[in-house]
Chain A
Amino acid sequence: MGKGTTFDLQRFSIHDGPGIRTTVFLKGCPLRCWWCSNPESISPKPQLSYLAARCIGCDACLQVCQPGAITKLSSGPVAIDRAKCTDCGDCAAVCDPKALELVGREVDVDAVMEIVLRDRDYYARSGGGLTLSGGEPLLQPEFAEMLLHAAKNHGLHTCVETSGYAGWEILDRLRLAVDLWLFDYKETDPHRHARFTGRERATVVQRLQQLHDAGAPILLRCPIIPECNARPDHLDGIAALARRLPRLHGVELLPYFDLWRGKLDRFGLKTELPATVRPPSRATVKAWNDYLRERGVRLVAT
C-alpha cells in the first residue's frame, strides 16, 4: 500500500495555489474535457509517449516490441501503430535517447515526499506547499489522502485541485488535510456540461455546495474556453454561483492556452476541441475579469 500512479511532478509551481509549490499530478480522470491540457492524465494506466525528434534510429525498440506496433520509417525514425500498442513499456525501457517513454509510474508516498520536501524552505518562506492535481486526484483517494497527511505531518500547506466529481465521502475524508481546495467549475449549462466534459453538472455543483457548507476553504477555478464556455451566460452563472457561496475564497479565471496540443501526437490521442479555438487576447481576458468584478465576484490570482 501507499502507492499511486502519477504522471508528473512539477517543482516551482507558481500558478496552482499560494506561494511556491510542488504539484504532484495523479493519473486518471472521470471527465473528458475537450480542452484538457493534460490529455495523458485521463487514462489511469501508463501510456507510451513518443517524440520522433529524439529518435536516433537505433532500432532497439523494434527488437523488443511484442505486438509489433513499431515500424521503421524510411526517413529514419520509427512510427507507432497505436492500435497495436499495449502501452507495455518494453520499448521505452531500451530507448536510450528517451524518444519513447512510459508516462505514468506507480510511485510510493515516501518517494514523492522525498522530492516534495527538497523545497520545503521555499514553501515556508513563500507560504506555499504541496498541490495535488491531475487527472482527478480523488480518483486515487487512499494515495491522495496519504500524500496530504504526509505533507501535513511536515507542516506543509496543501491544495487539491479537483473537478469535484467523486463521492462526497471521499471529499469529506480528505477535508481535514486540505488547506485550500482548487475547485474547477467548467460549465453552467447542464447540456453543454455533459457535452464538453462527458459528465453531468449536478454532481459537481452538489459537491461544491457540500464542501462549502462543511466550511472548507475553496478557490473556484474556471477554465474559460473560446467557442465553448466563453459566454456571458456562463460568466453570469459563475457570478450567481459565487453569490450562493459566501465563504468562497474567491474565483480565478483560467484562460485557455494551447501549448498542450503537441501532446496529442506524442500520445496518439485525439481531441473534440475544434482546431479553430485559439487562446484569448489579453484584452479579452481582462474583459472577462472586469465582467465578473462588476458583478461583485472576488477575483483571486495565484
Chain B
Amino acid sequence: MARLIRTEKEVEGRYTEQWIVVEEDALDQWPAGPLEVVGRDATRTDGLERARGEARYTADIQLPGMLHAAVLRSPHARARLTSLDLAPALAAPGVRAALSPGEIEQLTREPGYMGAPVAAVAADTFREARAALELIDAGWEELEPLLDPDEAVARGSFVSDPSRYERGDLERGLAEADVVVEAEYRTQTVLHNSMESHQAVCAWEGDSLTVYISTQYIWGVRDDVADQLGLPPDKVRVVCNFMGGGFGSKNGPGDYTFIAAELARRTGRPVRCALTRREENLATGNRNATIQRLKVGARSDGTLTALGGDFVNAVGFRGWSPSTGGPMQMLYACDNVRIVEHGAKLNTPPNAAFRAPGFVEGTFGLECLMDELAAKLDVDPLELRRRNYAHSDLVDGRPFSSKNLAECYRRAEPHWERRKEVQARSEGSWKRGVGLASQVWYGGGGPPSYAWVRVGSDGHAAVITAMQDIGTGSRTAMAQIAAEELGLSVDRVEVSLGDSARGPFASISAGSSTIPSMGPAVRAAAADAASQIIEIAAQRYHLEERVLSLKSGHIVSADGGSWPLEEITGLLGDGQILGKGARGPNPAGMRTLTFGVQVAEVAVDVETGEVRVDRIAAIHDVGRVINPLGASSQVEGGIIQGIGHTLSEQRLIDPGTGRVLTQTLDAYKLPTIADVPEIVTELIDEPDAHLTNLGAKGLGEPPIIPTSAAIANAIRDATGADVRSLPISREEMLRALREARERERRAPVGAAAS
C-alpha cells in the first residue's frame, strides 16, 4: 500500500525535508553472504561494449546538422565588461549564432572568477567555433580580486552564514584534559578531471527538448532545464546511456546545457556544447581548499574530553560550504565538541561536490590530529580510536541502523601489526612506516526510486529504470539483483537505463546512493515479476504457489519438479510479465552511515622528500556487497584518487591576478599507474538488517575518505615528521622533516622518549 510520509533526505551530508509516497517494502532480506549471483564476482555486463568503443557516450552523439558551441570565458578573476563586439565572430566562416551576456542568465558581464562564461558562438564545426571566439572583441575593466580565504573571513565575505555546531562545553572539556594538542592543517584545491569533459547536446523537436548529457542525475537535469526554460517537465527528455566520470561535478545541468539549448533554439539545429580540457581545469567545479584550526583534549588514558575545530572552506565565487567539520562531529564519542565552519566567498572558480566533499578534507585534519595525540600520550593509534568508539549517533542520539567499525578495526589488526616489520625494513635514507585512519560517511540512499522488470516469452528479463551508470558498474549490479530474484544468470538480464523517456524516476548517482536507492527498487520489481511467474506456473502445473520457486533458469517445486522458465513464459507468445518496484522508506528514527579504516605503508626518502606509498589495506563496512569485484574496483579507484589528492594534485592560482596557472594535465599532476601501490580490499559484507530489502549501502565515496590521513600518519610513523598540509609535495615533506629535526634539537637532553 502506498503511504504518504514526511522524511529527511540526505545527499552528501546535506539534508532536506520532503513529502514522499513510499510503498511498503514487503520483502524479507536475503540471508547474509554470497547467494547464487548477488555477493559473487561479476565482470561488467557492458565491459566489452566499452572496451570496443561501441558504447555511445555523450561525446559520441552525432546528430544530423549538429552545430558546435564554444564559450568565451573571462580571462580575469574579477572584472567588468566595458565593451563587447560579437559582429566579427558572427561574420566568421561557419558561424550560425552567438549569445551575449543577458541573453541567457548563465552569461555574465561581471565575472567573479577566471573562466566564468561571458559569451558563446555556434558554428558548423568545433574548430570554426573556437576560431570565432578569437575574433570577439571584449574590453575589460579589471577589478581587484579577493583571493585569500582568511582575509575573506575577516571581511565577512561568505557564500552562506557561518555554520556552528556545539555539544557539551568545549572549554570545560579542555580543562578536564591531561593533554591538549592544537594544530593547523591545510588542504589544497583539487579538480575532478573526469575523462569525459562536461558536455551536452541539445535538440529541439517542436516544443520538446532532448538533452544528451554527461550527468550523474538525469531527473535533476530534466527538472532544472524544464524549470529554467519554463517547460513542462515531460517536454524535456534527458539521455545519458554511458558516462565518463563525474565524481560529484556533474550533478546538475551546468552552463553548457543552457548555452546549447538556447543556441539550438535560435538556429533550429542540434547544438553540442562540450568543454575542453582547459575549461575542465577552470570552470567545472573543484574540491575547495581548506584551513583547519583544530584542538583535541584527552585524559592520559586516551579518553577524549574535547574536540574543537575552526574551519575555513575556500569555496570560490559561488558554491556551498561543505561539512568539513562532519567527521569531528560524528566519528568519535566525545561529549564536548565545538565546530565553526566558514564558507569563504572568493574570486576563484566555484567549488562543486567532489567525492565525499568536506569529509575527505576534515578526515585528513581530524585523523592526523588523533595520531599526533596518540604520539603525545604514547598510546597505540588503533587503541586510541577504539577507546573513543561511538556506539550511537552523537549528533542526535539515534541508534545506528548498523555499524561494524569495530569489526573493521579487528580486521585491520593483521595489517597494523606489520608495522614493526615494515619499520625494520628502513634502510639508509629510506624510512618506512605504517599509519591508519578511520572513516565515517553517509551512503544509505533513500526513496523515491522506481524500477520495472519485464520478462519475455524467451525467459530473458529486462530491468527498465531511468537511472544512470556513471562508470561505477551499477548497471551490472542491477542485473545481478534482478537475476538473483528471478533465478536467472546475469547474462539473461538486460538493463535499460539512461533515458528519462524510457523508464521511471531514479535516484541521483551521488552521495554513494545508487546501490542503496536503486537496488531495493530493482529487487522489488523483480520480485513482483517472479511472483506473477509463480502464480502462472501454479495454475499451469496444478501446484500451490508456496511450493514453487525460481532457480537456475527453472521453476522448481518443493517435491523435485523442475521446468525451464521459458516453458511457462513461452506459453504467452507476445505476452509479457511486467513487474514494478519502488524503494521503500529508510528506517525510522535511525542513523544510516558507512564506516571503514585504511592502513597505509609508506617509504620516505628523508634526503629528497620523496614519498612512496607501498601498500594500502582498506577495510570498509557498507552493508551487503552486491558485486565484490565491482566493489574492489570502487575501493581501488577511491584510493588512487586519494593518493593524487595526498601527494601530487594541486590547482594553483596566481596570487596577483587570480588566474589559474594549472590548466593542463602536465601541470595538474594526477597519479599515474606507476604511483599506484598494492591495494588490499576487505569488505565486511554484513547486511544492514534495518535498511531496505537489500541491506546494502553505497561505496562510491568511503574509500577516498581516510587515504590522505593514513598516508600522513604512516609518514609520521616512518620519520617523526608532522605533515599538515596537502599535497605532501617534496617541499612540504622536507619542511616537516626540518621541523622535526629542529624539535629534536631543542628538546632538552634526556627528555627524548626512550
A and B from one assembly?
Answer: no
Residues of A whose CB lies within 8 Å of any CB of B are: none
Residues of B whose CB lies within 8 Å of any CB of A are: none
